[in-house]
Amino acid sequence: MRTVSILFVVVSFLAACAPRAEDSIGGVFDGVSGQWVDLTYPFSDETIYWPTADGFVLEEEAYGLTEGGWFYSAYNFYSSEHGGTHFDAPIHFAEGRNPSDLVPLDRLIGPAAVVDVSDRATPDYQVTVDDLTGWEAVHGPMPPGTILLLRTGWGDRWPDPVRYLGTDQKGPEAVPLLHFPGLSPEAAQWLVDNREIDAIGIDTPSIDFGQSSTFETHQILYEQNIPGLENVAYLEELPEWGSYLLALPMKIEGGSGGPLRVVAFIPN
């Protein structure tokens, strides 16, 4: 059944990207059949990380003309797995589940459902089952293989840590000061029990809301090998239904996550 669902998604994707007989798959890449949207924040010294995580550092190794007369530049970078636009492998909160390098590609490529709660999200808001079923009342049940994206509007606050996280303090003492929206554990359990989503993303630092101390939403979803995408940018650019997501993280062997480049294709 899983293989059939994936095949259906692929066929639907190709059909949407090439609606006319004279079109080819090349239309996906040259702008004829639709538009690509980058949903990734750049990594820099402004990138927001969890208060207990090491931030992003770019260290210059070489920059300028070589003795041979050609230009050459090279850098080293250092970063926690979990910061900026990044990927959560299920093993991040579920022992024995997939690490970064073993998450199947079909979990990271598929149709995107954008549930928009930006008109009611508060710093401690948790997306509810009613929010999910309200989206389905308009668009129909999320089909197997959907990548669910939660738009809270928090992207408008990036990269101000006080507005985005609730605090600019660092270290363990800053964690109780975090305030941002997330997905409620009840809604996470409803998804596990009633839908077959492939992944979940959000435009905040965590799929659990900032005041969570037990990270139940992480535990519920990751136990089912459903990976997470956090700090996803520019979700306001996507329709609530009809776009296709490609979320490709750094492939770290045995990793619990890593930097993510995530893009969406919106067919014409």
Mean pLDDT of the chain: 93
Decide if 268 contacts 239 (C-beta within 8 A). no
The CATH code of the domain that includes 165 is 3.50.30.50
Answer whether 257's CB lies under 8 Å from 94's CB: no
Query: Is 239 within a domain?
Result: yes
| Number of independent structural domains in the chain | 1
Reported as a single tens digit per residue, the pLDDT across 122-133 is: 999 999 999 999
Range of the domain at 173: 34-53+81-267
Q: Tell me if 19 is assigned to some domain.
A: no
Q: How confident is the model at residue 11 (pLDDT cuts 50, 70, 90)?
A: very low
209 lies in some domain: yes
Task: Report the alpha-carbon distance of residue 222 to residue 146 in Å, rounded.
Answer: 16
Greater confidence (19 vs 180) lies with 180
12 found inside a domain? no
Top pLDDT among 44 and 4 is at 44
36-54 pLDDT, tens per residue? Answer: 999 999 999 999 999 999 9
Band (pLDDT 50/70/90 cuts) for residue 22 is: very low
**Looking at the domain assignment, is residue 238 inside a domain?**
yes
User: Within a domain: residue 208?
Assistant: yes
Average pLDDT over residues 219-242: 98
Examine the pLDDT at 57 and tell me if it is beyond 80: yes
Mutual angle of helices 129-139 and 185-194, in 10-degree steps: 50
Domain assignment present for residue 73? The answer is no
Task: Give pLDDT, residue 12.
Answer: 52
- State yes or no: pLDDT of 26 exceeds 90: no
Torsion sign across C-alpha atoms 48, 86, 135, 235 = positive
Q: How confident is the model at residue 10 (pLDDT cuts 50, 70, 90)?
A: very low
pLDDT score of 259: 98
CA distance 192 to 217: 11
Residue with tokens 């990548």: 147
Q: Residue 51 has what pLDDT?
A: 97
Residue 159 makes CB contacts below 8 A (sequence gap 6+) with 41, 46, 47, 48
Residue 2 has what pLDDT? 53
**Percentage with pLDDT > 70 across the chain:** 91
Asked if residue 256 has pLDDT above 70, the reply is: yes
Among 143, 165, 213, 163, CA closest to 185: 213
On the question of pLDDT at 241 being above 90, the answer is: yes
Active site residues: 92
Residue 118 within any structural domain of the chain:
yes
Q: What percent of the chain has pLDDT over 90?
A: 88
pLDDT tens digits, one per residue of 70-123: 999 999 999 999 999 999 999 999 999 999 999 999 999 999 999 999 999 999
- Mean pLDDT score, 201-223: 98
pLDDT per residue as tens digits for the range 138-152? 999 999 999 999 999
